[in-house]
Amino acid sequence: MQFSNVCLHDFGYVLPPVTLTSDDIEVRLAPLYERLKLPHGRLELMSGIQSRRLWNKGTRPSEGAAQAGNVALERAGVDRADVGCLIFTSVSRDMMEPATAAFVHRSLELPGSCHIFDLSNACLGFLNGMIMLANMIELGQVKSGVIVAGETAEDLVESTMRHMLEEQSLTRKSVKPLFASLTIGSGAVAIVMSDKRVCDTGHSLIGGSCRANTAYNHLCQGGQNSEQGTLMSTDSEELLRQGIETAADCWHGFQQELGWSGEGIDRFFCHQVGKAHAQALFKRLELDPRKNFETLPVLGNVGSVSAPVTMGMGIEQGQLVAGQKAALLGIGSGINSLMLGIEW
């Protein structure tokens, strides 16, 4: 896929107020660690995550998404009356019905003529939303639009810790699929995209590539359990292997589609799972890991928010400047991979 008329404004993001360290989690899980003789420090050692952020109790996904949306709209300076589309892209949602986008739309005071809908695809939802909006812009259907995501990890993290403490039948082997849930964090991000024929920021979405490898859709599954809250089971080792191979196929398509090479890209912003994942990804794709900007140690895995919020923070810190090329590299359960090329 390629785009000719799509420009990006600056990202807006919001980091939740509560910091939960990996040490805090292990102190809470001390009885489990003692029973299974697990070494303290295991969680940070395995994941590379020192801390993750959480919202105050009761915060809805739409609230964080709306806050980030306001930041993005204010930075863009786009007239809200010209916003023709709003897409909410998180794993987390306020409720089954109506669409969470309806709550964000109301909070942002966007016009009644604005298309609004939810788009969910595990950790790739935000990037999928960028493609959907880019298509609408290319077709001349909208002048500008907003992509938002607000992930709320509180229930998953709390339910997982409670289950690990209460389920006495857990062994060193059977507890492994639960640890990935403790790497998850909360956050919110948004971006305004416009038709460069109307408003050219100089930052262009060039195109991208996608791959689906659904033979492995069983490796990471989760949802609401009526008795135990939200739980997720992840075969982390096999998910890493198959995810990397899916990403390698996607990367091959990305290079062919855009005519870009790894050497010509100045900065990479990735969906972040853990340090082992990042190391394996860059080795397999034969990319320079020094070009990878990370927020993993302080934010953890923030689902659909991870890659875009990392890019937003990287831009703020001068890690991507005008005239440079960037690639958003996404891998999500399913398994799916999506990569986007941006000229900043």
The number of C-alpha atoms within 13 Å of 266 and in the hemisphere containing its C-beta is 15
Closest among 127, 156, 128, 130 to 55, alpha carbons compared: 156
Whether the CA torsion 164, 307, 19, 70 is positive or negative: it is negative
Tokens at residue 184, please? 């998850």
d(CA 337, CA 34): 39
Catalytic residue among 85, 123, 210, 270: 123
d(CA 258, CA 197): 21
CA distances from 34 to 43, 162, 182, 287 (A): 15, 16, 18, 41
97 catalytically annotated: yes
| 210 phi-psi bin (left φ>0, alpha ψ -120 to 50, beta other) | beta
123 catalytically annotated: yes
DSSP state of 320: S
Query: What contacts 264, CB < 8 A, 6 or more positions away?
Result: 325
CB atoms under 10 Å from CB of 127, counted, come to: 26
Q: Which residues are catalytic?
A: 97, 123
